[in-house]
Amino acid sequence: MFSLRYNINMKLVTLFLILSLPLVPASTASFWDNVNWATHGSIFYWAADNGKQGADPAPILPSAGFSASWRFWGPLRLELTEDLYFTNYEYNSTLGYAMACNPENRSAFVMGFLTGLQLAGNIPIGRNGIAVRVYGGPAVDLRLVVLALGLNHPADFTGDIETDAQLQTNAIRDYFWSEGRWFYPVSGIGMDFPINENFLLGFDLRTWFPVYRLWTDMDLPFIDGWRFGAGLRITPGKK
């Protein structure tokens, strides 16, 4: 009896798989027909103000990245974005605060992978291929924090966190990866213009929100932690 049921079940499964095969390429093709990718470059402004002492001016950083979006219904897309940036940091042990700095004051080199997953609305304007994009969603800043290059003199490792580059680097890493300081929801707006039949030229304005300020670093000025970006993107058109 068990053998009979097993044979019947296997035949049904085999029949189902055979009948499903024609649907697989169609579904896959349909999915990829609705996927767009783009490359982009941005200028970021990391607003910073410790309100008390020692911080260098808020950094203005170049960034390069890419995005991939999937149109799942009408004008709506689900978009994944990745932006890569890097800068130098030092640590204020009095305030327990990591702050961007000039190269001569550096302790840590920080490379950030700013990753977002957002819902985007793509709204065509007229029939000339121009479209407005409005989007928002969660984002995370996945920061790689290492000892800054060139710090190899004994004077850079004093055992005192005020002057020891390695201790400061460890403290900066702990600061960024604790209390949710890696979580940055993002919203933005952009426009795309057809360059030719193969490419779109777009621009974007984005804001990242330091929601962690709701439960930590509450004694810092309001502007600290906010992030703003302006950029251009190139999107290959569909053939």
Pair 67, 87: CB distance under 8 Å: no
Structure tokens given for 104: 């001569």
Collapse the DSSP code of 103 into the 3-class scheme (helix H, G, I; strand E, B; otherwise coil) and give the result: helix
Q: Alpha carbon 9 to chain centroid distance? A: 47
Q: Report, as an integer, the average pLDDT of 174-180.
A: 97
**d(C-alpha 100, C-alpha 181), whole Å:** 15
Residue 64 sits at the vertex; the CA angle it makes with 177 and 121, to the nearest 5 degrees, is 90
For residue range 62-119, what is the model confidence (pLDDT) as tens digits?
999 999 999 888 889 999 999 999 999 999 988 899 999 988 889 999 999 999 999 9
Q: Is the model's pLDDT at 17 over the cut of 50? A: no
Looking at the chain, the whole-number percentage of residues with pLDDT higher than 70 is 84
For residue range 183-206, what is the model confidence (pLDDT) as tens digits?
999 999 999 999 888 899 999 999
List helix spans (H) across 116-209.
165-176
| Residues forming CATH 2.40.160.20 domain(s) in the chain | 34-236
Q: What is the CATH number of domain 34-236?
A: 2.40.160.20
Backbone dihedral angles phi then psi of residue 179, each to the nearest 5 degrees: 60, 25
Backbone dihedral angles phi then psi of residue 180, each to the nearest 5 degrees: 70, 20
Collapse the DSSP code of 75 into the 3-class scheme (helix H, G, I; strand E, B; otherwise coil) and give the result: coil
53 pLDDT band (50/70/90 cuts)? Answer: low
For residue range 105-138, what is the model confidence (pLDDT) as tens digits?
899 999 999 999 999 999 999 778 899 999 999 9
Q: Is the model's pLDDT at 26 over the cut of 50? A: no
Pair 114, 141: CB distance under 8 Å: yes
Q: What is the pTM of this model?
A: 0.83
